[in-house]
């Protein structure tokens, strides 16, 4: 079914009202009013073939179609990635990186370095920290922890008490925290 221009003209006050209400939502502006109204009109024209005068009136059909389109429009506009309510920032803003240096924001994003490069750097950092552990026993306990060993299994494996194992693990944790690698404990 094609829309009679008189029918479209009769629906105009509804479009204006709906577009005005939607454009007043927080995160949208009056400049969005025309775009919203045009979107509502276009959607009605696309859905006109579904109108059945034996089921409902033209006014009710237009109201239903515009309400549903308004809901879809808001869902689309306020989706997390596109929401105008999100905090705005520039990727060139200066921020502190994990080492306390001032860098541009884009350098702190995961995409700033390749995954293999980050894994290599992490492996190197952990190896450097491992080398600074006070004793060979500490290094062996760290290796056992990396394998998934528990405090009890470490105590049995190295022939030390559970309390001594806890103390050595605490020492290892402190070395990692001092090296700013707490996240990798």
If DSSP codes are grouped into helix, strand and coil, which group holds residue 95? strand
pLDDT of residue 160: 93
- Note whether residue 60 is domain-resident: yes
**Residues of the domain holding 154:** 113-184
Contacts 24+ apart (CB under 8 A), 125-133: 125/179, 125/181, 126/181, 126/184, 128/179, 129/175, 129/176, 129/179, 129/181, 132/175, 132/179, 133/171, 133/172, 133/175
Q: For residue 158, what is the domain's CATH number?
A: 1.10.10.10
- Note whether residue 88 is domain-resident: no
Residue finishing a domain among 61, 77, 93: 77
pLDDT tens track for 1-41: 567 778 877 888 888 888 888 888 877 888 888 988 899 88
- Note whether residue 95 is domain-resident: no
Two tokens, residue 138: 């500490």
pLDDT of residue 156: 92
pLDDT tens track for 87-115: 667 778 888 877 777 888 777 766 555 66
Query: Is there a contact between 24 and 33 (Cβ–Cβ < 8 Å)?
Result: no
Two tokens, residue 98: 């994990």
Domain count, the chain: 2
- Note whether residue 117 is domain-resident: yes
**pTM, rounded to two decimals:** 0.44
In a shared domain, residues 68 and 19: yes
In a shared domain, residues 125 and 176: yes
- Note whether residue 122 is domain-resident: yes
């Amino acid at each position: 079914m094609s829309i009679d221009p008189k029918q479209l003209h009769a629906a105009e006050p509804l479009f204006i009202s709906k577009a005005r209400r939607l454009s007043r939502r927080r995160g949208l502006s009056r400049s969005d009013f025309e775009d919203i109204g045009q979107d509502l009109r276009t959607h009605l024209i696309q859905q006109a073939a579904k109108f059945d005068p034996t089921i409902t009136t033209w006014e009710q059909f237009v109201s239903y179609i515009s309400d549903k389109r308004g809901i879809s429009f808001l869902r689309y506009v306020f989706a997390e990635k596109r929401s105008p309510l999100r905090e705005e920032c520039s990727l060139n803003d200066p921020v502190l990186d994990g080492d306390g240096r001032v860098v541009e924001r884009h350098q702190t994003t995961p995409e700033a370095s390749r995954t293999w490069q980050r894994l290599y750097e992490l492996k190197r950092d952990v190896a450097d920290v491992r080398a600074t552990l006070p004793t060979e026993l500490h290094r062996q306990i760290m290796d056992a922890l990396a394998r998934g060993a528990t405090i009890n299994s470490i105590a049995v494996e190295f022939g030390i008490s559970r309390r001594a194992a806890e103390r050595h693990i605490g020492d290892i944790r402190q070395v990692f925290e001092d090296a700013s690698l707490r996240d990798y404990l």
